[in-house]
A and B are shown apart, each in its own frame.
Chain A
Amino acid sequence: MARLNTPVMLKISDLTVGYGAITAVKGLSLEVREGEIVSVIGSNGAGKSTTLRTVSGLMKPKSGSIEFLGEKIDGIPGHEIVAKGICQSPEGRRIFPKMTVDENLDLGAYLRKDGAAVKEARERVLELFPRLRERINQKAGTMSGGEQQMLAVGRALMGNPKLLVLDEPSMGLAPVLVDLIFETIETIRKSGVTILLVEQNALAALRIADYAYVLESGNLKLEGDGSKLADDPAIAQAYLGG
């Protein structure tokens, strides 16, 4: 798949972020266009999660800027970024374990005031993940890892995102479930949501991506169409275990 010719939704320019003296992301630039699936891959410590934390307002950049729909969003608090339409399914799922599935979904729509639209969103999420409907009154912490991941994605969708950010959605899941999650990601994109996907499972992430970025120790190493990178022997050797 190749890059779409749509307007730019998220634009990260020359972003540098660090923890104290350590610089985790060094001058990263990337773009997500409307309707795309963009994957960011790289090994542990490549700076993927730091980039996402900065996008969702949990960290402030040292330099560089992040623009969402033409508006500068770096440095503003997390809840305002959610209000602008960037919803995230965090690394490690981080569902609320002591709340029911229903209450978790409710919190995903925390900033939305329109009850009818929230109900509709809930219905769509439950159609996407029928498994969640079966477990609607179960405590989220008692569900399996795969179900928790579904809940994390569903919860993020409840916020009616323009851009859905998925941080390691396949982490720790059985291969069958990984396939299921990636299929669902494509379904979500078809419904009109733009997706920024961060993954260690490089092959799957590249296959569904329109465009992909490869990070290595905080630097951008490669970028290109998802399918092209998936076939690149250098990539295969470095990230796909081939």
Chain B
Amino acid sequence: MSQTQQGFMKALKCRECGREYALGATHVCEFDFGPLEVAYDYDRIKSVLTRAVIQSRPQTMWRYRELLPVAGEPTVGRQVGYTPLIKADRLARRLGIRELWVKNDAVNYPTLSFKDRVVSVALSRSVELGFKTVACASTGNLANSVAANAAAAGLEAYVFIPQDLEQGKVVNSLVYGANVIGIKGHYDEVNRLCAEIAGKYPWAFVNVNMRPYYAEGSKSMGFEIQEQLGWRIPEHTVICMASGSLLTKIHKSYQEFSKLGLVSQVPWKIHGAQATGCNPISSAQKAGLDFFKPQKPNTIAKSLAIGTPADGFYALRVMKETGGASEDVTDDEIREGIRLLAECEGVFAETAGGVTVGVAKKLIAQGKIAADSSAVLCITGNGLKTLDAVVGHVGETRDIRPSLREFEGLLAQERGGVAVAAGR
């Protein structure tokens, strides 16, 4: 492959044995089944990618394109990313920490989750490799993103999801005209089926044969955090874990920016958040193990319900190396986390966001994130997609007739009446 066909990529490289492969649609090492990862030419990247260059580009995830695995200009999802990083002072006070930031991918474009990042990379690369049909195994958000971005790019899409997903996530895939296949089983079973389908059909499965490219897209969330913090790495980052891939890639984004001299190298801690009803990684971390036991998930955080997390081993390693910790939260604590974030910061996150907030609260209370430090919470998806999880838990409307008298009667009843008009 010529340099123009490769961009700044060098090869695909096995994370276990280091064997190198051509930059095609393949994800596993033939020799030990280890996952393949994109290797880059960092010397060349360093010679062209500076803060000034990045800042001169449009505010999308593609402002870091040399560090993303496409050979030419991206063709799918060119508007994705650069979501707000909010200084969350009210939430900081509630959780008892000096400085807190919320990276808000609940408003990522176009499908309101961080998955638009990985999908724009995977589909841009799929187009480069000549695929006409794209596919994925998904807990919902990925399916939405593949469906939407494929539609916009004129690609055919097959998305495979567990049949019992939230209605919001199902409709958000169907509306784009994708082929949505509901599987009677857990995500892990969906994924197994997809691994078999991917072996048989010449499709670009974003999280199977395109996985090395796809996973790299997550780094952009970490690049943005560093730039938006004023070119620095946060002391603490709390990230929810399904497969554990996002956590490892945000860590990698900090390593890459340090290596390129875009930020100064300071110690950072990466913390992982899971739901108690599916906590293979956090329970292993708490027990001090470097391997996990697979589980059968049972949690309202369906986007995190992966019982056999492919990157669990690597996520454990990142937490260990950085001195990070892990916790998990119950369904009630997840709902409380969603409300806390909504009431303090006006951000409505999906269940995974409730997991991140709930776990941050626990880690701060335990002193694993020091009260006198600074932390970033990664919010990965939008609450409008998981309404089912909170309906009936966020209060009820008080219904009255269109009458001022009735309204004032209601206020008097709720506020004790006196001085309502004057008190404002």
Asked if A pairs with B, the answer is no
Q: Which residues of B come within 8 Å of A, CB atoms?
A: none
Q: Which residues of A come within 8 Å of B, CB atoms?
A: none
